[in-house]
């Protein structure tokens, strides 16, 4: 969403927003006690996130972008052992990430 645009298009300020949801499929590379290593993909839970940011474009091709992302991860079924042996872990947490990028666009 454009916030500001100069008359000659040499400067543009845009607001950014987004959201996401998805499955968490960690490849658990775990060796616990004397059991064999479990190294396979498995649906362990889900994640939710949202982000908001600002992009400043200069001279139509150069930009600086800042984003702040917030989210929640819940994994109640993390495999710790290979099939046939009971052993699971669980974790849930909130996170935040701040990103900054400098780049160029070509068209």
pLDDT, averaged in runs of 10, over the chain (107 residues): 90 96 84 69 92 95 96 89 71 97 90
Domain count, the chain: 1
Q: Is the torsion defined by CA of 80, 25, 23, 93 positive or negative?
A: positive
Q: Which domain holds residue 53?
A: 2-104
Write down the pTM of the prediction.
Answer: 0.73
The pLDDT, as a whole number, for residue 88 is 77
The pLDDT, as a whole number, for residue 85 is 64
Span 27-49, pLDDT tens digits: 767 666 677 766 778 889 999 99
User: Residue 10 has which token pair?
Assistant: 């040499």
The pLDDT, as a whole number, for residue 80 is 72
């Amino acid at each position: 969403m454009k916030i500001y645009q100069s008359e000659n298009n040499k400067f543009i300020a845009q607001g950014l927003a987004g959201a996401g949801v998805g499955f968490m499929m960690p490849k658990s590379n775990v060796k616990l006690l004397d059991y064999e290593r479990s190294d396979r993909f498995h649906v362990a839970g889900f994640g939710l996130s949202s982000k908001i940011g600002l992009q400043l474009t200069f001279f139509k091709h150069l930009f600086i972008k800042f984003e702040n992302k917030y989210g929640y991860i819940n994994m109640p079924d993390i495999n710790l052992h290979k099939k046939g042996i009971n052993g699971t872990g669980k974790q849930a947490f909130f996170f935040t990430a701040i990103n900054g990028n400098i780049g160029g666009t070509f068209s």
